[in-house]
């Protein structure tokens, strides 16, 4: 079940006793490429506040409804750790989130199959990043820049980012391609660049991605066969 990250912005978060806000971004681990938190803007209910919700407490739902039900009531959300999402999540905040959500963030029937997140082990987490932060970063192939990050393709079944959507900009105007997260070697946050281990000429002729058509397994087969890379589902 693949979805564009951008298409999930604005989805309502529904507690057991009413709506609490809308998804405005996601925080992900840039090593495992898994979503750790949904960032929820609660301004329509709690003005000036954002909260973090781990995907393990999100109940499976019909995505067409644009609603993510959660196993929380509004009081529990209101009492959740206050956090500043504009800065990296500190160790103290991570510990507070782990203690608060840990008992709820476990496998259960009817909820998404997301492994419980581990407790933080060190000061800060250099691998916890915002999807909004990285959109716009330059993409660097083995022999030069090829465009910038435009979006992500998320496997909602397990909340893993499978692909990065690349807008090839002035290099190949009007074209977008997908790069698997497995092919990203590293990200240099200071330079705002994402590095992939593929030459430009190979990317140039890769299967084009049409954002108006949801990515599916048929497209992924074409993509992986073109690059000759191992498929993540095999």
pLDDT tens digits, residue range 19-65? 999 999 998 988 889 998 899 999 888 888 888 888 888 888 788 89
3-state secondary structure of 215: coil
Which range among 80-84, 162-166, 186-190, 209-213 has the greatest average pLDDT?
162-166
Tokens of 39: 């960032």
Q: Report the alpha-carbon distance of residue 147 to residue 171 in Å, rounded.
A: 7
Residue 101 lies in a domain: yes
Print the domain residue range for 146.
135-227
HSE of 80, CA atoms in CB hemisphere, 13 A: 26
> 31 versus 103: which is more confidently predicted?
31
How would residue 195 be classed by pLDDT, with cut points 50, 70 and 90? Answer: very high
Count of CB atoms situated within 10 Å of the CB of 143:
10
Predicted model pTM: 0.85
> 55 versus 167: which is more confidently predicted?
167
Of the candidates 77, 107, 130, which is a domain's last residue?
130
Question: Average pLDDT for residues 208-219, to the nearest whole number?
Answer: 93
Residue 71 lies in a domain: yes
Residue 140 lies in a domain: yes
Number of structural domains (the chain) is 2
Share of the chain above pLDDT 90, in %: 54
Torsion, CA 25, CA 27, CA 31, CA 32, rounded to 10: -90
**Cβ atoms 229, 182 nearer than 8 A:** yes
Of the candidates 100, 130, 160, which is a domain's last residue?
130
Q: In terms of Cα–Cα distance, which of 163, 153, 158, 160 is closest to 60?
A: 158
Q: Do 147 and 177 fall within a single domain? A: yes
Residue 232 lies in a domain: no
Q: Do 221 and 180 fall within a single domain? A: yes
Q: Look-up: residue for tokens 């006793």?
A: 17
Residue 233 lies in a domain: no
| CATH at 53 | 3.90.50.10
> 87 versus 135: which is more confidently predicted?
135
Q: Do 141 and 34 fall within a single domain? A: no
Question: Average pLDDT for residues 160-177, to the nearest whole number?
Answer: 92
Count of CB atoms situated within 10 Å of the CB of 10:
11
Q: Do 187 and 89 fall within a single domain? A: no
Strands 138-141 and 193-196 turn out to be parallel
Backbone angles phi, psi at 134, to 5 degrees: -85, -20
């Amino acid at each position: 079940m693949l979805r564009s990250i951008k298409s999930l912005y604005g989805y309502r978060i529904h507690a057991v006793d009413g709506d609490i806000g809308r998804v405005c971004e996601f925080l992900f681990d840039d090593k495992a490429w898994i979503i750790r938190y949904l960032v929820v803007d609660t301004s329509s209910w709690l003005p000036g506040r954002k909260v973090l919700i781990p995907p393990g407490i999100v109940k499976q739902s019909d995505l067409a409804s644009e609603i993510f039900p959660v196993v929380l009531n509004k009081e529990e959300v209101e009492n959740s750790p206050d956090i500043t999402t504009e800065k990296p999540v500190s160790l103290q905040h991570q510990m507070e989130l782990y203690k608060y959500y840990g008992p709820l963030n476990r496998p259960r029937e009817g909820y998404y199959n997301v492994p419980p997140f581990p407790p933080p082990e060190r000061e800060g987490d250099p691998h916890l990043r915002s999807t909004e932060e990285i959109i716009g970063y330059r993409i660097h192939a083995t022999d030069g820049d090829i465009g910038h990050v435009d979006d992500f393709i998320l496997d909602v079944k397990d909340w893993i980012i499978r692909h990065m959507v690349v807008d090839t900009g002035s290099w190949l105007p009007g074209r977008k391609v997908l790069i698997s997260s497995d092919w990203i070697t590293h990200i240099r946050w200071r330079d705002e660049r994402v590095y992939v281990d593929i030459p430009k000429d190979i990317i140039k002729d890769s299967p084009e991605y049409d954002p108006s058509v949801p990515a599916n397994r048929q497209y992924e087969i074409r993509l992986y066969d073109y690059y000759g890379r191992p498929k993540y589902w095999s």
